[in-house]
Amino acid sequence: MIGILVVCHSAKAAKGIAEIASQMAGEKVKVVGVGGNEEGGIGTSTADIYAVLSELLNECEGVVVIPDLGSAVLSTKAALEFLTDEQKSKVIIADAPVLEGAMMAAVEASTGSPKEKVMQVAESAHLLKKLVN
């Protein structure tokens, strides 16, 4: 199973996006959201990201991380530095819109796809059109 980690600056946004993605994918995929700083405000916490990544890696054969903004990427990369080389090899960061990417990644992961394919599908969410002329 491939896990999906949503990293947002807001804990509420992270949990909400993870909830939507989980509902789309069903029980075949573990989707977790982490966000906010250590004081509960807006921001990201390297320690929290590391803790959730560690949990996911205990349950999943790989993890696709979908961050919302630039510093979420930086915090995720910092968290990766605390993992073993073997654990790091099981994690990939997607350059995808956070909501659409997480939803599409979760659905793709539910089909049994490897993390590289899950990341590719998440990143293809950039191409989605919400309005048709």
Q: Is 114 exposed, middle or buried (0-12, 13-18, 19+ CB in 10 A)?
A: middle
Active centre residues (catalytic): 9
The sheet carrying 2-8 orders its strands as 31-35, 2-8, 62-67, 91-93
Q: What whole-number distance in Å separates Cα of residue 2 and Cα of residue 113? A: 8
